Homo-oligomer: A and B are copies of this chain.
Amino acid sequence: MKLKQGLTLWLTGLSGTGKSTISEALRDKLIKNNPDFPIEILDGDAVREHLCADLSFSKKDRFTNIERIAFLAGKISKHDVLVLVPVIAPYQEARKMARSLSAQFVEVYIKTSIEEVIKRDVKGLYKKAIAGEIKEFTGISDPYEEPENPEILIETEKQSVEESVDKIIDYLITGNYLQSEEHQNKYRAIKT
């Protein structure tokens, strides 16, 4: 599989929906197929130390956090790289701003009901948020504004990680971001 044009693929959704898991599975599938595939995952951890150490969880600081990650994603994806950003980005306005900082931008909404993420609670964060031990927690004590028109909708209660990855890859092929081997082989067949 070959990347035809760089883009930022932003995976938005509540904490615990599987944004990072899907990003990593997507990266692993692309790299397995093509070890030189140009890809970068930018999550909160990747930027915390050097780019966002000064930021809190206030609305203003969350916006700044998204702005810095989005700026970085735009600068990298411009150089023919697929940049995956599994970051909650709960506000519509901040996602709109993020989109404006990449020449090519695709929004993926990783949708899971709040009941389901509370039930899963992999990191035990929802329990703490409900108990009031974590303030300003998205979905509990802070809003999550659902994307109105995401390019890709993944419903994790209906789709497996593998199906989600395939749905994203199909979108990228259709959108002319990715070239699949079948196309490559066809092209080669025509040429020879």
Contacts and interface: CB of A to CB of B under 8 A. Distances in A.
Interface of A: 38, 40, 47, 50-51, 54, 64, 67-68, 70-72, 75-76, 78-81, 101
A170 to B, nearest CB: 25
Contact of A81 (B54, B71, B72, B79): B79
A88 to B, nearest CB: 19
Contacts of A75: 40, 72, 75-76
A51 B76 contact: no
Most chain B beta-carbon neighbours within 10 Å: one of A40, A72, A75, A101: A75
4 A-B pairs closest in CB distance: A50-B71, A79-B81, A50-B67, A79-B79
Copies of this protein chain in the complex: 2
Given A40-B75, A75-B40, A76-B76, A68 B50 contact: yes
Nearest to A71: B50
Contacts of A40: 75, 78-79
A70 B62 CA distance: 22
Contacts of A51: 51, 68, 71-72
Contact of A54 (B50, B54, B79): B54
Contacts of A101: 50
Contacts of A67: 50
A50 B75 CA distance: 11
Contacts of A78: 40
A40 B40 CA distance: 18
Nearest to A53: B64
Contacts of A71: 47, 50-51
A27 to B, nearest CB: 14
